[in-house]
A and B are shown apart, each in its own frame.
Chain A
Amino acid sequence: MANRLANPFAFEPGKSALATMHPLAKLVFLLGVASAAMRSSLGVMVVLFALGILALMRLPKVAGGALLSIAALAAFAALARGVLPGDGRLFDLTTLPASGLYALRLFTVYVYSRLFYATTRVGEIGDWMTAAVRVVRRLIRKRRSAQEKEPGIMGDPGMLFSLVLLFLPRIFDTYQRIKEAGEVRGIGLSRRNVRRTLLMLEQLIIGSMVQAWRTAVAMEARGYSPQRSLRLKKFTGWDWGLLGLAALLFLL
């Protein structure tokens, strides 16, 4: 549970209709929304924000702590522009309305990113990237008409992408475990003792590397190799509709 609160991008399974849609359509839509949220008028943005929140609320078990942490981050990024304006004051109050609007824009982008992340499988986007690379490799192989060796992990961007996505939440878990183990022995990361903190950071790095290695070996044992079979969704009418909506948002 602590992991879910600490990590705003923790995986959340959801049975929303969005989960059945094509990941590329959702990605383009996300880019469209992000573009509109950062440029559009207040009215449009509030509508986008409200729709995003409504969609997010329909997903099961959205971690409230994660939303709060992102809200705090957005507020910090927005308020930074008013800090120390250079005329001796600590904060320029006149920047507040613009900062508030900016924070709302950032938060809107986050809400849609969260929606995308909550309804897209770890490897979906990665599989499309790998499929594209495989097509290019096949074309090159045809042209050169020479035998090439099988691709390794570096020739499989989807695999790298999936591993990183899978690995990130696990770093949060490792961090939490090390932090708790340190706290019960009187060493907190928050304490101002550089040497102790460095010792714990060393543990975090080593622990994460060991965890990553174990995960990679376990994945390989279950057939997840550069030669694996890819599962690619097909575009449906809903996906084309989402792409149309994204185009509209780009034009806004």
Chain B
Amino acid sequence: MAELFRAEGLGHLFPDGKVGLEDLSLSIDEGEFVIVAGKNGAGKSLLMRHFIGLSKPSSGAILYRGAPIASQIPLIRKEVGYVFQDTEAQIFGQTVEEDLAFGPANLGIRGKELEEAVRQALREARLEGMSDRRPLTLSGGEKRRLAIAGVLAMKPRCVILDEPFANLDFPSAMEIIDVLTALRAEGKTLIVLTHEIEKVFSLASRLVILDHGRLVFDAPPRQAPKEVFVQTGLVCPYRECYPWRID
């Protein structure tokens, strides 16, 4: 599989001198399903901001498809979709349908092709029959799926989802998992930033764990030892150490 993202010795220092990311090197290939895990403030979102060119590294470099990120921004906007954690901030349409058309229309897609992109996004995000609904009237889970659909309508090759399960009840979380399963089957590259790793553990092909801006684990999820979860403040998803297990 072709390489999509590569971070080489990536470092990020905040203006107050605090370390955001430290000497981080990793690459993500096309078609992978990667969980980027870590407790709050570990650097997950910051790393992704670097991947899509919204932040500038203090040291090291980011490459997209083998070229420096600065030269690849238009390509990234076309190929990489980003679903932000704050759902409300990324809904721009007066109706569901209009919101879904927003992204592809900005890319110059028109007419039948635009209609088809919207229809397909509605289908992929399980929002059929809601095209005329006002986004304000949707439930939290539906809004989250609308945000995902808004990104899918742009037909990205890679989708990054920042805390897709935050504030969702169990059925809504399951619906998001269904959407992710279908996207994985389509062969899309998926990067899920979450600390609720148990929800996507069995779906993912790779688990990346960050702690205090450093990469502490990078391998298929099943290879992660129990200790790594304990040391990084994450919930251990294995049966024998799952903290909320009731016998």
Task: Evaluate whether A228 and B92 lie within 8 angstroms (CB atoms) in the complex, with A217-B84, A222-B150, A222-B154 already known.
Answer: no
Q: Does B196 contact A (CB under 8 A)?
A: no
B177 to chain A, nearest CB (A): 23
Q: Across the two chains, which residue of chain A brings its CB closest to B94?
A: A13
Q: Across the two chains, which residue of chain B brings its CB closest to A222?
A: B103
Q: Does A11 contact B (CB under 8 A)?
A: yes
Q: Across the two chains, which residue of chain B brings its CB closest to A15?
A: B132
Contact with A along B145-174 (1 / 0, CB 8 A): 000001100100000000000000000000
Q: Does B52 contact A (CB under 8 A)?
A: yes
Complex Cα distance, B104 from A227, in Å, reads: 13
Which of B78, B106, B110 is in CB contact (< 8 Å) with A224? Answer: B106
In the complex, which residues 76-132 of chain A have their Cβ closer than 8 Å to any Cβ of chain B? 121-122
Q: Is the CB of B94 within 8 A of A221?
A: no
A-B interface pairs (CB < 8 A), number: 66
Complex Cα distance, B87 from A211, in Å, reads: 11
Complex Cα distance, B95 from A70, in Å, reads: 25
In the complex, which residues 98-132 of chain B have their Cβ closer than 8 Å to any Cβ of chain A? 98, 102-108, 110, 132
Q: Is the CB of B105 within 8 A of A229?
A: yes
Please give, as numbers and ranges, the residues of chain A lying within 8 Å of B106 by CB-CB distance.
222-225, 228-229
Please give, as numbers and ranges, the residues of chain B lying within 8 Å of A227 by CB-CB distance.
74
Which of A122, A211, A225, A229 is in CB contact (< 8 Å) with B77? Answer: A225
Q: Is the CB of B86 within 8 A of A122?
A: no
Q: Is the CB of B107 within 8 A of A223?
A: yes
B1 to chain A, nearest CB (A): 24
Task: Evaluate whether A214 and B89 lie within 8 angstroms (CB atoms) in the complex, with A121-B98, A229-B108 already known.
Answer: yes
Q: Does B82 contact A (CB under 8 A)?
A: yes
Q: Across the two chains, which residue of chain A brings its CB closest to B52?
A: A221
Please give, as numbers and ranges, the residues of chain A lying within 8 Å of B134 by CB-CB distance.
13
Q: Across the two chains, which residue of chain A brings its CB closest to B77?
A: A223
Q: Is the CB of A222 within 8 A of B151?
A: yes
Interface residues of A toward B: which range? 20 to 34
Task: Evaluate whether A122 and B103 lie within 8 angstroms (CB atoms) in the complex, with A221-B77, A223-B154 already known.
Answer: no
Complex Cα distance, B90 from A194, in Å, reads: 35
Q: Is the CB of A224 within 8 A of B102?
A: yes
Please give, as numbers and ranges, the residues of chain A lying within 8 Å of B81 by CB-CB distance.
221
Q: Does A231 contact B (CB under 8 A)?
A: yes
Q: Is the CB of B84 within 8 A of A122?
A: no
Q: Across the two chains, which residue of chain A brings its CB closest to B90?
A: A218
Q: Across the two chains, which residue of chain A brings its CB closest to B87?
A: A218
Q: Across the two chains, which residue of chain A brings its CB closest to B114?
A: A231
Q: Does A198 contact B (CB under 8 A)?
A: no
Please give, as numbers and ranges, the residues of chain A lying within 8 Å of B88 by CB-CB distance.
170, 173
User: Which of A215, A219, A222, A229 has the most CB atoms of chain B within a 10 A radius of its CB?
Assistant: A222
Q: Does B54 contact A (CB under 8 A)?
A: yes
B202 to chain A, nearest CB (A): 29
Complex Cα distance, B102 from A222, in Å, reads: 8
User: Which of A122, A217, A221, A228 has the most CB atoms of chain B within a 10 A radius of its CB?
Assistant: A221
Contact with A along B43-65 (1 / 0, CB 8 A): 00000000010100000000000
Q: Is the CB of B107 within 8 A of A218?
A: no
Q: Is the CB of B94 within 8 A of A121?
A: yes
Q: Does A166 contact B (CB under 8 A)?
A: yes
Please give, as numbers and ranges, the residues of chain B lying within 8 Å of A15 by CB-CB distance.
132
Please give, as numbers and ranges, the residues of chain A lying within 8 Å of B150 by CB-CB distance.
222
Q: Is the CB of A166 within 8 A of B92?
A: yes
Which of A121, A222, A225, A228 is in CB contact (< 8 Å) with B90? Answer: A222
Q: Across the two chains, which residue of chain B brings its CB closest to A10?
A: B136
Task: Evaluate whether A122 and B105 lie within 8 angstroms (CB atoms) in the complex, with A222-B150, A222-B151 already known.
Answer: no
Q: Across the two chains, which residue of chain B brings its CB closest to A227?
A: B74
Please give, as numbers and ranges, the residues of chain A lying within 8 Å of B82 by CB-CB distance.
221
Q: Across the two chains, which residue of chain A brings its CB closest to B81?
A: A221
Given contacts A12-B94, A13-B95, A217-B84, 17 further A-B contacts (CB under 8 A): A11-B94, A13-B94, A13-B132, A122-B92, A173-B88, A214-B89, A218-B84, A218-B90, A221-B52, A222-B103, A223-B78, A223-B107, A224-B102, A224-B106, A225-B77, A229-B105, A231-B110
The 9 A-B pairs with the shortest beta carbon distances in the complex, nearest first, are A229-B108, A223-B106, A218-B90, A222-B103, A13-B94, A214-B89, A228-B106, A221-B82, A13-B95
28 contacts between A and B (CB under 8 A): A13-B95, A13-B98, A13-B134, A121-B98, A122-B92, A166-B92, A214-B86, A214-B89, A218-B86, A219-B92, A220-B77, A221-B81, A221-B84, A221-B90, A221-B151, A222-B92, A222-B102, A222-B103, A223-B77, A223-B104, A223-B107, A224-B92, A224-B106, A225-B106, A228-B106, A229-B108, A231-B105, A231-B110
